[in-house]
Structure 1
Amino acid sequence: MIVRTIIYTAMLASSVVALAHAEAAGKKLTLLTGPTEDRLISAFSHEFDNKAKAAGMTVTQLTSPFDPALQAQQLDDAIGQKPDMIVLQPLSSGAVTPGLQRAKAAGIPVFLVISQVDKGDGLSVGTMALDDFKSGELAAEAMIAGLKAGGRQTAKVAAITGSLAEGIAPRRLEGFKARLAKEPWITLAQVEDAQWIPPVTEQIAGQMFTKYAADGGLDAIYGMNDAMANAIIQAADSAGIDLGTAPGQLLVIGGGCQESGIRNMQAGKQYATLSGPLPSYDGPKAAELIADYFSGKDIPKLSVTTPLEVVSRGNLDSYAKSCSF
């Protein structure tokens, strides 16, 4: 009798979930993102698409090579197609805000993914995004820990960032600077915008190494994602700069928990990364929240993605698989 009750309860729970998402079946979504050549965007898109299709929704994706003007045009085109929802990775708050206002006027709900829209209250029904200020803080925490591990009492550091025009990178840099400001023994000597592009990052890093060579070199560099950190490491290898925590070595901090970061940490070339965003969590969760929306459920205006923590040698094994996308 107890077994039958358990089985019946499990079947009932499964039926409730299926019914809860029944209203999502047949809904048409237009997904607007950056380029799928970017490993994070590609992995997120794949995970999102699989979960959305499992709920009976169809997804049409339009991509832009990190071109805000092109994405703004794509957003207008999507509004003209009148999908049931637009799912948007905003590349520029300023560029997409007029389109978001037109989508709202047209009665088309918008769900934001990967990044937020500055001053975009009321323009979307929900957001699935990273706490970028916290991400920057934790990157600084990792850098501080690595510098202390090497016994350094003074340090000269730099940051090579994603696009600082608006969006993700300024929020991360703000958190990074705020945490470093509490450590007067660390000097943030230079910040350069590489617009998320690894070859540009490598070039900037090489220029930094030349600039500071006569003054003892840099002690650490923060690359805002692991692809950028990998570019910094490549530049250091080309310049003959040793990598590590010891005085005289260069400490490299990344972010985004990507395959290159895991590989470089395993090789001892990168000190730390961060645990998110993780497409294997964020993509399905975003699709689930959208299905909940169509089912009439209240969803949060902002859903913070994967809980963030520093990933270093001590907990690397627990993240190696999920971060290797």
Structure 2
Amino acid sequence: MRGIAGALAVAAAMVLTACSGGAAAPSTGDPAAEGDGSVAGKRVIMVHCGDINPWCAVYNKTIIDGLEAEGVTVEYLQDPFDVALQIQNLQSAIAQRPDLILLAPTDDNSVVPSLQQAKAQGIPVIVSNSRLAPGAEDLAMTVDADHGSLGKFAAQNIVEGLQARGLEEANIIALAGSDTTATSGERMKEFKAELAKYPGYKLVEERNTDWDPAAAGRIATQLFAEYESKGGIQAAYGMADYLANAVIQSAVQAGIPVGVENDGLIVTGSNCFKVGIDNIKAGLQYGTGTQTPTAEGEWVVQWALKFLADGEIPPVNLNTVHRVTAENVDEFAAECSTS
């Protein structure tokens, strides 16, 4: 996968350390470098999003397969974006005292007490597919994608699409994942910052979907109707390609043209799926970004193995992501079609 084999350079976020209050050293090492110890027989418990979500299903399988291939024993405790169940699973994991806990938070803040408990008991935790809540940066290590860049890419896709249509003013809607994690928060922060460079383009609605395409479709339909008498909606950001696809389907059903060539709605995704690649090729979606479940899963595997072998990794490790449009879609088609 491009995010692993093609670019192992790590962009490190700045985090505060509890002991010094200063910025943590950037992570610039190669996570695939061999450690000094054996990982065979080590035990990992994964507390992750449930396989009911298509991205999570591939992500989780990639991690489990990668760790087990190196002789690591993996137990997977899944929750379908259920905060209470995740805390229950996390408590169970802590009680079993594994060599490492992998945690993909459903709510960044809700897991803090459990992370404090794990640290007090000397149980290491790697948080993935999100970031630690402010003030909790010293409680665990982070292995994640560069979500800020994904949000920036989404805004750039919308701006380019609107400019290609010759529009100087536009109403834009955003169908986000969930505001309980940095996954959505970082994307929306950078999306808004990039969009602010173009005052004529207004983000008029931002709604959470809990990563549910059915919810995204319903919300888009409602907003199309609501804004029909307010100048209409000219562009939409679906935070995952399957959310963007739901927006496209809702527009088609409402009789709204889609795509630059149709002088229609400009739609972008933010992390790629096969449906998004197909929509880009068909001219229905302007673009997306990577952060594929296989690439991100492999990224977690490499850092988890390094920790199990060495006993330490840098506190924050961000994987490189890439912007995808019709101009380079063929380059990323295979990578983006694993889910």
Tell me the percent identity.
35
Counterpart AA for 2:256: I
Distance 2:37 2:219 in 1: 51
Q: What is the rounded CA distance, in whole Å, between the counterparts of 2:175 and 2:334 in structure 1?
A: 27
* Amino acid across the alignment from 2:245: N
Residues 157 and 190, structure 1, Cα contact 8 Å, conserved in 2: yes
Contact 1:244–1:269 under 8 Å retained in 2: yes
How do 1:154-193 and structure 2 match up within 5 A? 154-193=169-208
Call closer, same or farther: CA 1:20–1:130 in 2, change over 3 Å: closer
Does structure 2 retain, via aligned residues, the 8 Å contact 1:62–1:74? yes
C-alpha deviation, 1:133, in angstroms: 2.1
User: Which of the numbers 210, 214, 218 marks the counterpart of 2:225?
Assistant: 210
Task: Identify unmatched segments of 5+ residues in structure 1.
Answer: 1-16
Pairwise mapping of residues 129-140 of structure 1 onto structure 2 (< 5 A)?
A: 129-140=144-155
> Do the aligned partners of 1:33 and 1:62 also contact (CA within 8 Å) in 2?
yes
Counterpart among 265, 274, 277 of residue 259 in structure 1: 274
2:313 corresponds in structure 1 to: 299
Give SS of 2:260's match: coil
Give, in angstroms, the shift of residue 165 of structure 1.
3.4
Distance 1:287 1:45 in 2: 10
| 1:11 corresponds to | none
C-alpha contact 1:150 1:247 (8 A) present in aligned 2: no
133-142 or 244-253, which deviates more: 244-253
Residue 297 of structure 1, CA deviation: 5.9
Over alpha carbons, which structure has the higher Rg? 1
The alpha-carbon deviation at position 220 of structure 1 amounts to 0.2
What is the aligned partner in structure 1 of residue 321 from structure 2? Answer: 308
Q: From the superposition, tell whether residues 166 and 298 of structure 1 become closer, same or farther in structure 2 (CA, over 3 Å).
A: closer
Per-residue CA deviations over 1:191-230 (Å, capped at 9, x if unaligned) read: 1122211111100000011111123421100011111101
Tell me the equivalent position of 2:137: 121
Q: Distance in 1 between matches of 2:158 and 2:235?
A: 7
What does residue 239 of structure 2 align with?
224
Shift of 1:100: 0.6
Query: For residue 163 of structure 2, what is the aligned residue in structure 1?
Result: 148
Paired position in structure 1 for 2:78? 63
Query: 274, 286, 289: which is aligned to 2:303?
Result: 289
Question: Residue 97 of structure 1: CA displacement?
Answer: 0.6
Matched, 1:86 2:101: yes
- Give the residue type in structure 2 aligned to 1:287: V
Q: Give SS of 1:222's match.
A: strand
CA contact (8 A) 2:260 2:283 kept: no
Of 54, 63, 67, 1:52 maps to: 67
TM-score by length of 2: 0.86
Matched, 1:31 2:46: yes
Q: Which runs of 4+ in 1 moved over 6 A?
A: none
Could you tell me which amino acid in structure 2 is paired with residue 160 of structure 1? L
**Would you say 1:243 and 2:258 are equivalent positions?**
yes
More helix by share: 1
The 3 A distance-change label for structure 1 pair 280 and 165 is closer
User: d(CA) in 2 for partners of 1:233 and 1:55?
Assistant: 42
Displacement of 1:66 in angstroms is 0.5
TM-score (norm 1): 0.89
1:223-264 alpha-carbon deviations (Å, 9 max, x no partner): 111111011011111111110125851111111111111121
Q: Are the equivalent residues in 2 in contact too, given 1:146–1:271 (CA < 8 A)? A: yes
Deviates more, 1:106-115 or 1:293-302: 293-302
What is the aligned residue count?
306
Per the TM alignment, residue 34 of structure 1 is displaced from its structure 2 partner at its CA by: 0.9
Deviation at 1:38, TM superposition (A): 1.4
SS of equivalent to 1:295: helix
Alpha-carbon deviations, 1:279-322, whole Å to 9, x = none?
222222322222211222642211112x2222011100011111
Residues in 1 aligned to 2:271 and 2:80: alpha-carbon distance in whole angstroms: 19
Give the RMSD, CA atoms, in angstroms. 1.8
Distance in 1, Cα, partners of 2:305 & 2:263: 53
